[in-house]
Amino acid sequence: MIVSADPAREIDLSIVICTRNRASRLSGTLGALQALRTDSAYEVIWVDNASTDDTAAVLQRAFANDPVSRYILGERIGLGAARNLGWKNARGRIVAFTDDDCYPAPDFVDTILAAFADHPGAGAIGGRILLHNPDHARITIEESEAPRVYPKRTFVRAGTLQGANLAFRREALQAIDGIDPDLGAGTRFPCEDIDAVTAVLWAGFDACFDPRPTVQHDHGRVDADVPALLNAYDRGRGSFYAKYILRPDTRTTFILRWLSSTWRRRDWQGLRTLRTELRTAGQYAIAKRRFGALALAVPVGLAALAVQSLVSFGFSSSRRLWETKSR
C-alpha cells in the first residue's frame, strides 16, 4: 500500500525513515519532521517494515494534510530491505536515511544539501547524532564537530558513519544497486549502513563526515542494554568483514584490517569479540553458499583465534604481574 505525495514535484532531498512496531513512539519524529524549515523541495518516505501494531494507522493519520510525506508497506523484514525499498521509491537527487527514534534539526534539509554541494566527489555523507535524553546510555551517537573525508577505495571501520544520519547521492546508490536487503537490524547480519558506505567508496566515490546535518537520537537504551547492543555490533562486523573478504578487489585490504583490529584488542574482551566476528563471518559465507571460501577460511580463523588466545593470556598475565609489583 502506498500513499503518494504530489508526483509532479521535483525533489532535491528524500528523507527515508523505516519503522517496525513502534506506533506509540513515532510522535517525536513526526513532530520534528513537521518543524523542518527550507525553501528546497523535499519529501519524507516512511517504510513500514511489516509492522503488526497500529503503525499504518498512526502514519496515515499524520499524513492526512501532509503534502510531502508518503507511506510504503514493506513485507520483507530487515532494515536493509526496508531502506532499499525506501530509496527505490524516492525521487530526490539526495537520499537521506534516519531512524524512527531520531529528531532531525529544523535545518536538516538545507545542511544536507549544503554538505553535498561542498563535497562534489562525495557519494555518502554522515552527520552528527546527538543524545536526546541525558539519562540514556551514551551509545549510537556521534558528537564530533570536525569534518572528515574518506577517500575512495579505502577502508573505513564499522561505526565510522552511522545509519541514524546518513545520506547518499542517488547516482552512488544506483552504482551499488542500493542497500543490501540481506543486512541490517532484523537480520542475522546488522551492518547495512557501513556496508553501503564501503560499497560506495569502492565504486569510486569519496565519503565524508560533515557535522552540520544533525539529529537528536532518542534511543531509549540504558546502560544495562549496552552489552547486547555491542554483541550485535560484533556480529555486524563479522559479516561486514566476510562480505568484503569474499570480494576479490577488497580481499587483501579487509584481511589486513581485520588482523590489525584483532591485534589491537589484546585482552579477554577482544577474544570474545573475535569469536563472535568469526562465527558470524562463517554464517555469512554459508548463507551466500561460499563453501569453498569457508573451507579455506576456517583454518586461518582458528589460527587467528589461537594466537589471540595466547596473546590475551600473555597480556592479561603481564598486566596482573605489573599491578602486583606496583603495590
The DSSP-derived string for 293-320 is HHHHHHHHHHHHHHHHHHHHHHHHHHHH
Write out the chain's pLDDT in tens, 327 residues: 334 455 666 799 999 999 999 999 999 999 999 999 999 999 999 999 999 999 999 999 999 889 999 999 999 999 999 999 999 999 999 999 999 999 999 999 999 999 999 999 999 999 999 999 999 999 999 999 999 999 999 999 999 999 999 999 999 999 999 999 999 999 999 999 999 999 999 999 999 999 999 999 999 999 999 999 999 999 999 999 999 999 999 999 998 898 888 777 767 787 888 889 989 999 999 999 887 766 666 666 666 666 666 665 555 555 555 555 555
Residue linked to cell 510525506: 69
pLDDT in tens, 42-87: 999 999 999 999 999 999 999 988 999 999 999 999 999 999 999 9
Q: Which CATH architecture has domain 2-221?
A: Alpha-Beta Complex (3.90)
What is the pTM assigned to this prediction?
Answer: 0.89
Delimit the domains of the chain by residue range: 2-221, 225-326
166 in Cβ contact with 197 (< 8 Å): yes
pLDDT in tens, 172-223: 999 999 999 999 999 999 999 999 999 999 999 999 999 999 999 999 999 9
Task: Cell numbers for 35, please give them.
Answer: 518543524
Task: Cell numbers for 84, please give them.
Answer: 532499499
212 in Cβ contact with 111 (< 8 Å): yes
Give the SS3 label for residue 255.
helix
Task: Cell numbers for 156, please give them.
Answer: 573505513
Contacts of residue 266, Cβ cutoff 8 Å, sequence gap at least 6: 308, 311, 312, 315
